[in-house]
Structure 1
């Protein structure tokens, strides 16, 4: 249980700071009626968990708004006036009932963070690729089957969370996102490790848990900056030598596969601190070898 909590902290904690209003920068309003009395002064607005079914038309009066959190409501549609808030940098509409993203999302061209997780989205408009300043994109827990090629025009993107969707592949030019540091593809329908992912040189966290992967490419060693690799609950039977040549790797999750042995040379895993391999068939002699060759690593069997 301790390592489960630790992993949840890794994936939830890293971007929480970017999604929270900052009262040190400006007052955070939580009452829309109050905010609309002084629209030119309102920079941060939190309407979280207020049982809203729609945003009123006069939301468009808040022309200085930088931060809007309307998560945990019952929104089913986008008010067009929301898309006129072109100073907006953070938009959080997580956990609503939205089943589309309007093409005019491109009007919000100062967005740094967009969180649409836990909605009912099935596709993404090509115009999303016009958000040139976007750094954090959260689309987890939807029913998305594919991403538009234009997503790779978001050159500033650092975090892309796509877990718990219905994806089988990513755009072939995904490597154009060379600033990407976190890629979460867990709980999807990937059957192969796409070689295109190996070209994302700045990747630090890669999550592919609960997919259908049978093998990994030995070229995984090319991800030299990788710190966290999550591969639990796939169908892996063996590991390539390249996985032991990731010098920055700190956390490796391999639980619930069919792995019996590890690469012969583990000396390249100098920074590995946590290895989780429960739910595999590792015999006692292999366990003893892992303990010996990874003396600074905590291993969970």
Structure 2
């Protein structure tokens, strides 16, 4: 083989190697999660069509499987969402979610609690937001929590997932009571926000509704808005099932916070006042430590450019 031919073959091999390395460098590594007691097995599922109403994008919402499942779509005309018919003072809230496959940059799927409709200028919110990806990255989960404020007072943390959330259903859950707020993915706690006496005003305390939505977050969701939604790949459809809403129901006629002595549930466990829910078990603490070491890539407590003085709980 002539020298120029050898150089040509070598160049082709180098290009192939670079392409392989490039693909591998952007391929997420999935992990086997620790074993934990599944809280989602402790509470009953509710029928989505009975416990939720359509909040926006009604034409993009379908109730399936006798009302036990809802699909929400995002297309060029609108996103879509459902909201619980009841407001809650604390509880356990969960959904099994299957995310849209394929390129989904700019797409935001959210499962969250909010009272922005009642308190537009000082509302509370507890968020699980699943942020779409470009061709090279996976979906990520962003958690957020704030009280008596707006998104500017938020306390975001972001994590990679240890599985492909588009292949099958996975559970995303929020435990919210007077002791702490815990975010869980497939029953693994990924974050705990404690109700501290030193900063009570930043802890959500007003009754909230439960929301499930899909919407266009092009301005901020994927790499700070670098990759907007490409509707060539739409419509984007997300499925919600195995919904769980167990907690202390708010009575609109009451002017004071109820004692929550009777939690609306067919379970013997009480996520509001039960001793099992006042603090994490050792098993849960170890699982949360694993998730935060392996998968967390952003925390507001490490964001010095954003906070000249870190929020009090970061200390």
Q: TM-score, normalised by structure 2?
A: 0.24
Instruction: Give the structure with the larger strand fraction.
Output: 2
**Larger relative contact order (CA 8 Å, sep ≥ 6):** 2
